[in-house]
Amino acid sequence: MLYLFIAIILELSLIYFFSRRAFYGFRRVLLRLFGGFISEYFVYFFYLPGVLVHELTHYFSAKILGVRVSRLRIFPIGYVEIEKAGLLRTSLVALSPFLIGVGLFFLTTYLFMVESFFESFWGRVFFVYIIFVISNTMFLSKSDIKNSWVLVVFVVAASFIILKIYGFEGGLIYSGFVIAFKYLLIVVIVNLALLFLLSCDILLTWLQRSPKQAKLRKK
C-alpha cells in the first residue's frame, strides 16, 4: 500500500510537471497547423471545464471560509484574487481545487465503471477527456503553492505515516488507490502524447530552418 501511495505521488508529480508543457505544446501545434485566433482559443475552450472547476472552487471556498474575493476571471486565463486572511484559511482556499479535483476524478472513474454511458467508443473518449482536463487543471499555481505549501507537506507526511502504520491492504482504501493509479497513468500517457506532438513540431521547425531545406527552397 505504501509503495502504491508513493507511485501515485510520482504520477501526480509527473502530471504537474507535464501539464503546463502539454498545454503550450497543444497550443503551439494547433497554431502551427491552422494558425489564427480561432486555433489559440480552441485550446482554452478545450481546457475550460477544468479551469471553470478550479477557479469556482477557489471562489466558493473563499466565500465559505469568509475570505473576501476581490476579482474572479474564468476565460481565457482563469484566476481568483483574494484578500489576505489567516494562514489556515488562505491555505485551504489555495488547496481547495486540488481536493475537489481529486473528488471529481474519483466520481468520474466510479461512473465510468458503473454507468453504461461510457461503454460506447465516444463515451470512453469523453471519459478520458474529462479525467485529463480535471487532472491537468486541479494543481496549484505558484501563488497557491506559496500560500499552502505548509498544509500540503503536513497532509502528505500525515498520509505517509498513517499508511505506514495501518497499511490498509486489501480494503476499500486500497481499491481506491489502485483505481487512482490506473487512471492517473492514462493521464500521464495522454500528456506524453501531447508532448510528443510538441517535439514533432520542434523537429518540423528545425527542418524548415536547416541549410539544406533553405537551398532547396532557393532552387
pLDDT for the residue numbered 205:
62
Mean pLDDT calculated for residue range 74-103:
82
In a domain, 218, yes or no: no
In a domain, 211, yes or no: no
pLDDT for the residue numbered 147:
74
In a domain, 115, yes or no: yes
Mean pLDDT calculated for residue range 17-26:
80
Residues 185-219 pLDDT 10s? 888 888 888 777 777 666 556 555 554 444 444 44
Greatest mean pLDDT range, 67-76, 142-151, 166-175, 187-196 = 187-196
Helix (H, G, I), strand (E, B) or coil at 121: helix
Instruction: Give the residue ranges of DSSP H helices in the chain.
Output: 2-33, 36-64, 87-114, 121-137, 142-166, 172-209, 211-218
User: Which of 124-138, 176-190, 193-207 is the least confident region?
Assistant: 193-207
**Number of domains within the chain:** 1
Residues 60-87 pLDDT 10s? 998 888 888 888 887 767 778 878 777 7
pLDDT for the residue numbered 126:
87
In a domain, 136, yes or no: yes
Residues spanned by the domain of 155: 2-205
Among 195, 213, 172, smallest CA distance to 28 is for 195
Q: Chain-wide mean pLDDT for the chain?
A: 79
Among 83, 21, 57, 74, smallest CA distance to 138 is for 57
In a domain, 32, yes or no: yes
pLDDT for the residue numbered 76:
67
In a domain, 172, yes or no: yes
Q: How many angstroms separate the CA atoms of 144 and 90, rounded? A: 9
